[in-house]
Structure 1
Amino acid sequence: MKVAKRFALALAVVFAAAGIAAAAETVKIGVYLPITGGNAVGGQLELDGVNLAHKQYPEVDGKKIELVVVDNKSDKVEAANAVKRLIEREKVCAIIGTYGSSLAMAGGEVAEKAGVPMVGTSCTNPLVTQGKKYVFRVCFIDPFQGAGAANFAVTELKAKTAAMLIEVTEDYSVGLGNFFKQNFVKLGGEVVSVMNYQKGDQDFTAQLTEIISKNPDVLYIPANFAEGAIIMRQARELGATFSILGGDAMDNPEMVSIGGDSVEGFSYTSFAYSPNMPEKLMSDIQKQFTKQWREAYPDKDPAALTGCGYDAYLLIYNAIKNAKSTDPEKITAAIAATKDMPGVTGTTTINATHDAEKPIGIIRVENGKQVFHAIVDAPAK
């Protein structure tokens, strides 16, 4: 009996040791994205990209990568709690996320205090990385996006006057709107009307009626794709004939489905990738990504947001590989040192403010399809 007990105890020790060894051979990367709530569609698109990258690169330095995904529910408090859980309970060495600048700011504060690197996906507000050592992003920032949109409005749309419709409870919309306004005025344009709405609004008749009375050449809407599509539909129903221009949050296939004919001719700034962009503009990694996506999801197109998720994973993967370590401090240093990393949304260089220097794309709706129109280079260094 004693021999049996000793054998069982020895066996338990062996199994425990094997479990510890297995855990040591696993690299945990956290992901916090809005899978439910108002930003769920964008969050899911990015998660698809993260998952595809994980499928292509499941191991680093012989260690299996485990993704721990937590839904931030499109809520700032939940975003902070999600990051806290990933760090304290799941013991991740790095974090991907998130769609939505407000959510990224909330989660970033937690990651910063804990000293765990976080890579934002499509959170373009400058405040996301401002003053942060451990927070980075793979997307361009709104000062550049706003400048690009203003330049497009003046040079290609020939706009001399502009109106704006801003979602005042969303940092992304307010910030991007301000950058567009500053640059449009700097280029000689006049902003004749700035109207506001709040998240979840469905009726924009009052604001649009006021805007139409000002007869602008272009209406700028730094909106979420669903609200933006409704705004365009109601604008056309009210007889608006001006051009409409938006930002990267409009980059979603559902936008055309919701807006119908009303979105025809709409242009927006986005990340420099589209599955239908001219092949001569596509890099090798963009071609590879598109092929892999078609094989994995033959019934739907990838979006630029999908590329953001993919690139965020690649940035952390390469950092771990280059650092030859899962220590958060070493991963942080390797991310900060990233130069000219090929990605789906363009070549990424992390600058001194931890933002990605990369080009932006202009996409237009033509004959009911989102067509890649042009690439605008990043500002000179």
Structure 2
Amino acid sequence: MRPFPRLMVAVLLMSSAACEKKSAPASAPSPTPAAASTGGPAAEGPILLGQVGSLTGSEATFGQSAKHGIAMAVREANAAGGVKGRPLAVRVYDSQGRPEEAAQAAMRLINQDKVVVVLGEAASSNSLAMADKAQAAGVPMITPTSTHPDVTRKGDYIFRVCFIDSFQGGVMAKFARDTLQFERVAVLQDNKSAFSVGLADTFREAFVARGGQVPATESYSKGDTDFRAQLTTFKKLKPQALFVPGYYTDVALIARQARELGLAVPLLGGDGWESDRLFELSGGALEGGYYVNHYSVDNPDPRTQDFITRYKAEWKEAPDSVAALAYDAARLAIDAIGRAPDLSGRAVRDALAATRDFPGVGGTINLDAHRDAVKEAVILKVEGETRRFVTTVKP
């Protein structure tokens, strides 16, 4: 195992007036007798949040977008006076898109940095690895975009601000069957991704339940670059569409190879497609495809449009869904810290669990008994080098 300095990049964001003072950490209560005793957050200086994200690697746009959204939420909170009379800061570690790196980053945030809340990761496989560490230590964790149901099942300290795969997969299955009136849709899934496998499972079940057929399911593994064998199998079966619940890097390459083989059916997918690089990498091969997402820049909701205006002013680009949901996750954490009677893990956890009707920019958030967000989804269509808002689907 390599030492931490070669594993991750750390960034500390603070208001310019804030200086972190050294103090003995207060002891935080453990959620269970088996939980690790790591000490609690500092009693003075900035209240520290932690983020783990893929700042490098094949899904680097996810980590960078999340970093921007979280930083913006923290700066706005500090401009409004901070929380409990103290400024906020965030420490960021790079997971490189790998579960083992994500888990080690979470441990460092908890044991060394003494963060109050851990934010991240984007990918479900990475969040699953982190959740075990956060739960054992009794430190609340909020994932912005990990949709696999098992993430929050890791324990009562794990939360999310996005909908889960069963809702997302069902939305696309309903849209493909009822609106697009497809009868036969094949599935291509990433067997190394908990997100991809979970979404594929829920899509198949919901699509078949609505009278559709799935003539074949083929698999690949993250890092593969040749999908021609799977696509050739699909071409022989003549499906009306392909459901590809992968991440944008793989999806773009799959789309290009499908077109090269003459497989000109629409591709369907989930929120893993969301990246501006999708259009650059696919070279127009995803034209006419559809995917489920948490948010759209075309949503006329004033709250959403105000966020987009402020984000553009700060980062000189439109926010994608990862940025929007990371912003919501950070604001949800900040709100809970403000409502909690103290900064212990249990107190902040209980405040998070009590969240109702939180005004997120990606939709109003209510957390259910499983700490999953109950909120709306949107369907987007790929047109040229942009995505067009098609419809909103409520839970």
TM-score (norm 1): 0.90
Match of residue 320 from structure 1: 337
Cα distance change on mapping 1:335 and 1:278 into 2, 3 Å: closer
Structure 1 letter corresponding to 2:71: N
Identity of aligned residues (%): 35
Residue 324 (structure 2) pairs with residue 304 (structure 1): no
1:3 corresponds in structure 2 to none
1:164 aligns with 2:184: no
Give, in whole Å, the separation in 2 of the partners of 1:63 and 1:303.
Answer: 30
Q: Secondary structure at 1:371's aligned position in 2?
A: strand
Cα distance in 1, alignment partners of residues 218 and 185 from structure 2: 12
Indicate how the Cα distance of structure 1 residues 288 and 233 shifts in structure 2: closer, same or farther if over 3 A, else same. Answer: same
2:172 corresponds in structure 1 to: 149
Shift of residue 262 of structure 1?
Answer: 1.1
1:350 aligns with 2:367: yes
CA RMSD of aligned residues (A): 1.6
1:95 paired with 2:112, answer no
Match of 2:229 among 200, 206, 210: 206
Which has the higher mean CA deviation after the structures are superposed, 185-194 or 287-296?
A: 287-296
Secondary structure of 2:246's counterpart equals coil
Q: Which residue of 2 aligns with 1:11?
A: none
What corresponds to 2:29 in structure 1? none
In the alignment, the residues of structure 1 paired with residue 22 and residue 135 of structure 2 have an alpha-carbon distance, to the nearest angstrom, of: 31
> Which residue in the other structure is 1:53 paired with?
73
In structure 1, what is the Cα distance between the partners aligned to 2:154 and 2:70? Answer: 27
Equivalent position of 1:7 in the other structure: none
How does 1:268-283 map onto structure 2 within 5 Å? 268-271=291-294, 273-275=295-297, 277-279=298-300, 282=301
Match of 1:38 in 2: 58
Amino acid in the other structure paired with 2:319: P
* Aligned twin of 2:102: 79
Question: Which has the larger share of helix?
Answer: 1
Q: Distance in 2 between matches of 1:135 and 1:213?
A: 44
Q: Distance in 2 between matches of 1:137 and 1:146?
A: 17
**Structure with max Cα Rg:** 1
Residue 360 of structure 2 corresponds to residue 337 of structure 1? no
Secondary structure class of the residue paired with 2:224: coil
> In the TM superposition, what are the counterparts of 1:222-241 in structure 2 within 5 Å?
222-241=245-264
**Secondary structure of 1:206's match?**
helix
Q: Which amino acid aligns with 2:49?
A: I
Task: Determine helix, strand or coil for the equivalent of 2:68.
Answer: helix
1:187 aligns with 2:205: no
- With the length of structure 2 as denominator, give the TM-score of the two structures: 0.87
Letter of the 2:54 counterpart: P
Paired with 1:18 and 1:202, the residues of 2 have a C-alpha distance of 49
Deviation larger for 229-238 or 310-319: 229-238
C-alpha distance after superposition, 1:326-350 (max 9, x if no partner): 2211100000000010112111111
The list of structure 1 runs, each at least 4 consecutive aligned residues, that deviate by more than 2 angstroms after superposition, is: 17-23
The 3-state SS of whatever aligns with 1:302 is coil
Cα distance in 2 for partners of 1:40, 1:261 equals 21
1:196 aligns with 2:216: no
Kindly state the Cα deviation for residue 20 of structure 1 after the two structures are TM-superposed: 4.2
Unaligned stretches of 5+ residues in structure 1: 1-16
**Deviations for 1:82-108, whole angstroms, at most 9, x for unmatched residues?**
111111110111110111101101100
The separation in 1 between residues aligned to 2:299 and 2:377, in whole angstroms, is 15
Report SS of the residue matched to 1:24.
coil
163-172 or 323-332, which deviates more: 323-332
User: What one-letter code is carried by the residue in structure 1 that aligns with 2:226?
Assistant: D
Once the two structures are TM-superposed, the CA of residue 274 in structure 1 deviates from its matched residue by 2.1
Q: Secondary structure at the match of 2:364?
A: coil
Structure 1 residues 239 and 78 mapped into 2: Cα distance closer, same or farther (>3 Å)? same
**Mapped partners of 2:54, 2:256: distance in 1:** 26
Aligned to 1:8: none
> How many angstroms does 1:34 deviate by?
1.4
Gaps of 5+ in 2: 1-19, 25-41
Cα deviation code 1:9-62 (max 9, x no counterpart): xxxxxxxx9754996142111111111223222111111111111121121122
Aligned to 1:375, the other structure's residue is in SS state strand
Residue 34 of structure 2 is matched in structure 1 by none
Q: 8 Å contact 1:39–1:99 — kept in the other structure?
A: no
What's the counterpart of residue 294 of structure 1? 312
CA shift in 2, pair 1:71/1:367, >3 Å: closer
